[in-house]
Amino acid sequence: MTRQQGRLRLRVAVFACIAVVALALDQATKIWAQSALVAGRSIPVVPGLLSFTLVRNPGMSLGMLSSATWLISVLAIVASVALAVLALRTSSLRWTAVFSFAFAGAFGNLIDRVANADGFLNGAVVDFLDYGWSVGNVADIFLVGAGVAAVVLIAINEPFGPEATDVEGAGAAGTEGSERTGSR
């Protein structure tokens, strides 16, 4: 196995592990919310900052596009595929982690839309984290966190492509990048 194949396997393993654990956490909290909370009633957790309130949201953030739930579902499918492809194409473990959290967020809400549908991809997402101005879920936290992390990685100029391997894996010989490109 070449070094490049080993790094690809590592990135796939990191992506899969983060995505599976994040999806399990998202789905477990939604199952809990549906069994422990009653729609329309709030349970204060941190008064003035956070409550548990069960809401079934057919739209996006703040209920936007509630009448186009099927479109949101299609966009979530496209985003999930794109994030998985990006995770395979990057050479950076940091970008891999960001893509896996974003994937878990998009796919976690897509699971709700499919599981709760009574028509073509028109199901609602289970939201229960009430911030006072918006109600969301753990998948939303992963999406926002991944977005913030992506901005940070861009700001610090974290390499996305083969140069990421050169930076992360530069050894004593310093030939990792030249071996891959064939220029010694």
What would the DSSP string read from start to end of 65-106?
TGGGHHHHHHHHHHHHHHHHHHHHH---HHHHHHHHHHHHHH
Any long-range contacts for 79-83 (C-beta under 8 Å, 24+ apart)?
A: 79/106, 80/106, 80/107, 80/110
Looking at 26, 127, 130, 166, which residue is catalytic? 127
121: left (phi > 0), else alpha (psi -120 to 50), else beta? left
What's CA 161's distance to the chain center, in Å?
20
Distance in angstroms (rounded) separating the CA atoms of residues 11 and 83: 13
Q: Is 140 a catalytic residue?
A: yes
17 token code pair:
């592990």
Note if 130 is an active site residue: no
* Catalytic entry in 26, 112, 130, 140: 140
Residues known to be catalytic:
127, 140
